[in-house]
């Protein structure tokens, strides 16, 4: 495997996370690989540990034990500077988009360059090269015609596509999408997830997407990982799975998602 492919992956072995020594593990013995170019759907009921897994990969949840490699970094031994570097290489997409509504669509996308470019000047300008790339990415996600409009004027699906373009401005090695279609209607959910899967394949970026709708996971992923009470209970190629195979994932007695 080439060095580039090797750094564009996540490898977890026997990962355990808990927030204090007196509490139970939120993640308990998780093994997971994310390979370049694939989309992995993360399924689980509320309280299964999906959000904690995303947080562990970005340093917002403590890794209690186990091995965790991301983009060439050992996540269990990160110094503060290294943690900032790791986060700069992870494209994050959220349920609520996290755009700055009063700024233009183009400027929101350009904010994805801030880690590498340093602070923008008081006029908020960016380089011509960055502006060209941002417009190219807006074209890639299908809304370049909205570049000069305020982000808050866009529909939910359009805002999520802006968020995807912003994540791509980072030139990420991994994309983490935490319930990115929970606020969208079914048609736009398919559009956004299809876009994410095509980006994974075209750019060679592994995408981990947390979902709660089983048909969406079956339609827009290469592999599915099912969590229950912090442990993986189902894992396999999407083409080999169906609703019956994924039944062990769901637990009606789950607690609130952590």
- Could you tell me the residue range of the domain that residue 158 belongs to? 102-171
Q: Output the pTM of the full model.
A: 0.89
pLDDT above 80 (res 132): yes
Whole-angstrom distance, CA of residue 39 vs CA of residue 248: 21
* 119 domain residue, yes or no: yes
| Confidence bin at 80 (pLDDT 50/70/90) | confident
* 133 domain residue, yes or no: yes
* 19 domain residue, yes or no: no
The distance in angstroms from the start CA to the end CA of the chain is 35
Number of domains the chain is built from:
1
What are the angstrom distances between the C-alpha of 170 and each of 19, 116, 185?
30, 8, 28
Question: What are 130's two structure tokens?
Answer: 């960055």
Q: Single out the residue of 141, 92, 94 nearest to residue 115, CA to CA.
A: 92
* 217 domain residue, yes or no: no
- Please count the other Cβ atoms lying within 10 Å of the Cβ belonging to residue 85: 15
* 255 domain residue, yes or no: no
* 62 and 17 Cβ atoms separated by less than 8 Å: yes
Average predicted confidence (pLDDT) for the chain: 89
Whole-angstrom distance, CA of residue 160 vs CA of residue 164: 6
| Confidence bin at 251 (pLDDT 50/70/90) | low
Question: Which one-letter DSSP state was computed for residue 146?
Answer: G
């Amino acid at each position: 495997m080439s060095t580039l492919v090797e750094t564009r992956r996540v490898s977890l072995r026997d990962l355990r996370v808990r927030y204090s020594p007196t509490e139970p593990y939120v993640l308990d013995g998780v093994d997971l690989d994310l390979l370049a170019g694939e989309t992995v759907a993360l399924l689980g009921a509320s309280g299964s540990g999906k959000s904690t897994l995303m947080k562990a990969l970005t340093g917002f949840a403590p890794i209690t034990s186990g091995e965790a490699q991301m983009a060439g970094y050992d996540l269990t031994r990160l110094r503060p500077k290294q943690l900032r570097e790791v986060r700069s290489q992870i494209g994050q997409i959220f349920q609520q988009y996290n755009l700055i509504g009063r700024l233009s669509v183009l400027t929101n996308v350009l904010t994805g360059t801030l880690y590498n470019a340093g602070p923008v000047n008081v006029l908020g300008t960016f380089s011509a090269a960055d502006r060209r790339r941002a417009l190219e990415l807006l074209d890639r996600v299908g809304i370049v015609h909205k570049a000069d409009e305020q982000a808050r004027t866009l529909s939910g699906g359009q805002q999520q596509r802006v968020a995807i373009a912003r994540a791509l401005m980072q030139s990420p090695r991994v994309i983490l999408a935490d319930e990115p279609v929970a606020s969208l209607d079914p048609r736009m959910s398919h559009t956004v997830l299809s876009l994410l899967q095509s980006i994974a394949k075209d750019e060679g970026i592994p995408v981990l997407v947390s979902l709660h709708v089983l048909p969406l996971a079956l339609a827009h992923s290469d592999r599915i990982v099912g969590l229950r009470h912090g442990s993986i209970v189902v894992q396999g190629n999407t083409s080999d799975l169906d609703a019956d195979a994924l039944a062990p994932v769901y637990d009606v007695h789950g607690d609130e998602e952590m």
